[in-house]
Structure 1
Amino acid sequence: MVRATAVTIELTALDRTELERQVRAGGTPQRQVLRALIVLLAADGASNAAIAAELGTCVDTARKWRARFAAKGAVGLVDAPRSGRPPVYTAADRAQVTAWACSLPVDHDVPLSRWSTTELARQLLTDGVAVSVSTVRRWLADDALKPWQHQSWIFMRDPDFETKAARVLDLYARNYQGMALGSDEYVISADEKPSIQARARCHLTTPAGPGQSMRVNHDYRRGGALAYLAAYDVHQATVFGRCEQSTGIDPFAQLVDQVMGVEPYASASRVFWIVDNGSSHRGQAAIDRLARRYPNAVMVHTPVHASWLNQVEIYFSIVQRKVLTPNDFPDLAAVERRLAAFEARYHATATPFNWRYTTADLRRHLARLDDHETAVPARLAA
């Protein structure tokens, strides 16, 4: 019986360097390392039987990769394409999952508020398609669909939205009715933060320690609630705050008195008060009331449902994060002291907010919304 002669392997310096690199690299798959070692030993003159014995594999494996390298070079050490197992699910099955995920359960008389992967798999089962929850999850992930999540939004219903919003944005840019503001004109952003509670924890709050975060007891005794009113000078980064039992016209008037009774606002040419449409300062009546009280004060309303245009809301978010969370106060007096002390601390380092949303951004935003509103009916009609 004639025994086949092993294929001779001759390596170039470049091939040897690459194969040795693959063997040394920690990230190389082990099957690739084995193939590289087979070729390196073959190039050193080892027989297939010797290679199999040294690497703990069978002779056929050594013969296979030796021959593949001799025939195709380094490309021969890569797995050849395989047809794989026939698909269990059809493209129509997958499309059905996507269709259900992109619909509302209520539209199909399903008593759910939103879909989960489990509920989608259950619904498909009623349609005669048996798909596992993990498969549904994988398909949705590939399509970037997360029907179990939801996002709230609100539609602009102020007919003068653009005009009112542009007026506020112009004031932030120190312009009003096409004219630049003078050095003795100021812009105040004002609002109220209601229902700040004093929650006296039943056990003392403990500070953070090694491997342990701050611990705040869940149980508490209610110590009442107050409202925090604040007026923020947009360009000076100055805050005027006060605490009241509740919001309303009179508490807001006291905040106005607190600001307008001191310089430079008392003798200013004009002081613009940017407010939202809350009941404390709503409508033309509030504008007239402020003008009668202080002739140099001009009230400017944000559009309805656009409090995000009011910069004092940014300050309130800072207060919420840094002062009021977690809420652990023995009484309302402690809340009031903390808020007053924080104002002083804030003024020590405060700079104006880097407000970058301009009237040009507003027009682009509204144009995109208009395009969207016209495109959606067109797509539905098609």
Structure 2
Amino acid sequence: MTRPGPKLVPLELTVVERAELERWVRRRKGAQDLAVRARVILACDAVADDGFPVSVTAVAEQAGVSVDTASKWRRRFLADRLAGLSDEPRPGRPRSVTDEQVADLIARTLESRPAGATHWSTRSMAAKTGLSQSTVSRVWRAFGLQPHRSETFKLSTDRSSPGKVHDVVGLYLDPPERALVLCVDEKSQIQALNRSQPVLPMMPGVPERVTHDYVRAGTTTLFAALDIASGRVIGSLHRRHRAVEFRKFLIKLDKQVPAHLDVHLICDNYATHKTEAIRRWLVAHPRFHLHFTPTGSSWLNLVERWFAELTSKRIRRGVHRSVQALEKDIRAWSSAWNEEPRPFVWTKTADEILDAVASYCRRINDSGH
């Protein structure tokens, strides 16, 4: 009895082809679709009991694919051998934007500005380059370009900046024994603001709304000392922020810190911290040691991070009809913080900070450093 159906052309795999197909099947991290195609071809190379090549139906059952799939890859292999098992280019519209156009777009974005504006938009750049707005947007996203954004920075011009960075960061990462490290600063000119009309409360689908204008009721100043170990804060409110008030705050710290501990204060370079009266007080209290951050480097003082928490969670959206009401809220928020204090953990070393600044200065052309 003769075999039904058309006679199949034998594959006749070479030793090299068989070894490569078996490697594709064993490869764990390879594409699984390529492994399936390899199994199909290996199954097609077998010979049935009647001496003819194994049928496509039997190959499909053995490889776990459809008959059409098995037939397709058998034909592709016969035509192009191993190269025929790779995916062909998918149909679709050919690429319309060249590499030169992309390079020109990036160069314009980085090196030029539009006439009459400070930065490019997708529309203005599309009009300038002749590309579509969506193409400009895709290229900017691919290369991480955001012309609409701008961030602020300030490099310290303090010649002793490296030494001060090492001094302050050293206190953060390796504080001295039998001593308390306190980050000290003033948050001055905190305004008691009362909205000109009542606040409209939040409702489902509608956020809280306040009037854009306000009535000023006065200002106050918060002196604060953040314990870097525990996160607790010692605060004092005054209507002014002169050396007189700073001296009163130092006296308060002297009373609240246990007498057997040295006190290391991290401060900025504000003039009230360096007056003759403050120097005399420090001489009379030798357990107090002042460590100054570099000029223009308030970010190095951890108490600024606590001030940011106070501002965002209590002051910015608060409504206060008087300075007394504002000070009451600040005291209440500080007391709640000290009930469950959370220290801010410093992680970067002084060398890492200075290396990052040096790297930035090398990247910009007109830093002057």
> Is TM (by shorter chain) over 0.5?
yes
Q: 1:339 aligns with which of 330, 343, 346?
A: 330
**Cα distance change, pair 169–290 in 1 and its aligned pair in 2 (3 A):** farther
Gaps of 5+ in 2: 1-5, 9-54, 78-82
3-state SS of paired residue (1:221) = strand
**Equivalent residues in 2 for 1:1-382, closer than 5 Å:** 10=57, 12-13=60-61, 15-16=63-64, 68=72, 71-72=75-76, 80-81=88-89, 85=93, 87-105=95-113, 110-124=115-129, 130-175=130-175, 180-181=176-177, 183=178, 185-264=179-258, 267-268=259-260, 270-281=262-273, 283=274, 285=276, 288-292=279-283, 294-357=285-348, 361-370=349-358, 373=361
Q: Using the TM superposition, name which of 312-321 and 226-235 deviates more.
A: 226-235
**Cα distance change, pair 86–173 in 1 and its aligned pair in 2 (3 A):** closer
TM-superposition CA deviations, 1:66-112 (whole Å, max 9, x none): 97466349x99998425754554433222211110111428xxx332
3-state SS of paired residue (1:162) = helix
**Cα distance change, pair 298–241 in 1 and its aligned pair in 2 (3 A):** same
Shift of 1:285: 4.8
Distance 2:310 2:152 in 1: 24
3-state SS of paired residue (2:111) = coil
Distance 1:92 1:201 in 2: 56
Amino acid aligned to 1:92: E
Amino acid aligned to 1:117: T
Identity rate, percent: 26
Distance 1:114 1:258 in 2: 51
Q: Using the TM superposition, name which of 305-314 and 220-229 deviates more.
A: 220-229
Q: Indicate conservation of the 8 Å contact 1:172/1:234, yes or no.
A: yes
Distance 1:66 1:348 in 2: 71
Amino acid aligned to 2:75: A
Distance 2:91 2:350 in 1: 54
Amino acid aligned to 1:224: G
Amino acid aligned to 1:253: R
Gaps of 5+ in 1: 20-38, 43-64, 125-129, 378-382
Q: Indicate conservation of the 8 Å contact 1:101/1:115, yes or no.
A: yes
Distance 1:248 1:14 in 2: 88
Shift of 1:340: 0.8
Amino acid aligned to 2:105: V
Q: Indicate conservation of the 8 Å contact 1:290/1:299, yes or no.
A: no
Distance 1:263 1:365 in 2: 31
**Cα distance change, pair 189–143 in 1 and its aligned pair in 2 (3 A):** closer
3-state SS of paired residue (2:188) = strand
Task: Provide the aligned C-alpha RMSD in A.
Answer: 3.5
Ranges of 4+ aligned residues in structure 1 off by more than 6 Å: 75-79
**Cα distance change, pair 250–203 in 1 and its aligned pair in 2 (3 A):** same
3-state SS of paired residue (1:300) = strand
Distance 2:121 2:168 in 1: 42
TM-superposition CA deviations, 1:248-301 (whole Å, max 9, x none): 22222222222223452xx345322211112322x5757624414534322211
Q: Indicate conservation of the 8 Å contact 1:233/1:239, yes or no.
A: yes
Corresponding pairs, count: 308
Shift of 1:365: 3.2
Shift of 1:191: 0.6
Shift of 1:319: 0.8
Q: Indicate conservation of the 8 Å contact 2:228/2:343, yes or no.
A: yes
Q: Indicate conservation of the 8 Å contact 1:287/1:298, yes or no.
A: no
* Matched residue, 1:59: none
